[in-house]
Amino acid sequence: MSMKFPYKDIERKIGYTFRDKSILEQAFRHSTYANAHDGEDNERMEYLGDSVLQLIVTEWQYTRKTDGEGEMTKSRQKIVCEDALFRAVEALDIAQYLLIEGSRANVGKKTVSSLFETVAAAIYLDGGYAPAKKFVLGNAILDGGKATKNYKGVLQELVQKYGVARPVYRMEKTGKDNAPAFRSEVTAFDKTAEGRGKTKREAEQEAAQKLLEKLRDYTR
């Protein structure tokens, strides 16, 4: 287990604190890094995470009782596809922590998207089904794969362009576990905005969108 690995930063972003930190680190360990440093990569974890993700999404669909089997299958495919998982990882802003040997320019979309599965598997291994379910339903793209704009990504690009501090997000959860509500507050460029939603992602995206509206002088 590496003492330099940013465990706390990742745990804050994914909303889960690990008892066994080595499981979290393995979730981010690409095969190139594992081969170079004589460790186990995250490919087996990705395999497990795929099944964990499929079960959680399927259960979520089933409890909604809105579609038949055929429509559920199509909808699930959109939620767990590479593009949707890539967008979810980008919204979480965790791809930067991927442990890879060599140029990061070679990191493809598939590698980034698989992080969602490896993190889901890691949480499942460390804490069981309930926290894994909370992570997936709080961060997966559950809107049927609609091409919504990634405002968190746009805000991140903006701070990088101007060389200012990274956006800081603060999250507050209210309501019952089966009907949660989230309030997110984001600060960047010495300005703050608030967003609300039924999921953590919705709240953070709305907060980022509202902050971008306040930063129009920078986005012109």
Catalytic annotation present for 117:
yes
Instruction: Return the DSSP state at 215.
Output: T
Of the candidates 25, 93, 117, 202, the residue annotated as catalytic is: 117
**Residue whose structure tokens are 């930067």:** 96
Count other C-beta atoms under 10 Å from residue 51's C-beta: 13
Q: How far apart are CA 62 and CA 88, in angstroms?
A: 22
Catalytic annotation present for 20:
no
Q: Are 184 and 169 in contact (CB under 8 A)?
A: yes
Q: How far apart are CA 39 and CA 24, in angstroms?
A: 14
Of the candidates 50, 59, 90, 143, the residue annotated as catalytic is: 50
Phi, psi dihedrals of residue 55, rounded to the nearest 5°:
-65, -45
Count other C-beta atoms under 10 Å from residue 114's C-beta: 25
Q: Where are the alpha helices (DSSP H) in 39-166?
A: 43-64, 69-80, 82-92, 109-127, 129-139, 151-162
Q: Are 85 and 117 in contact (CB under 8 A)?
A: yes
Catalytic residues: 50, 117
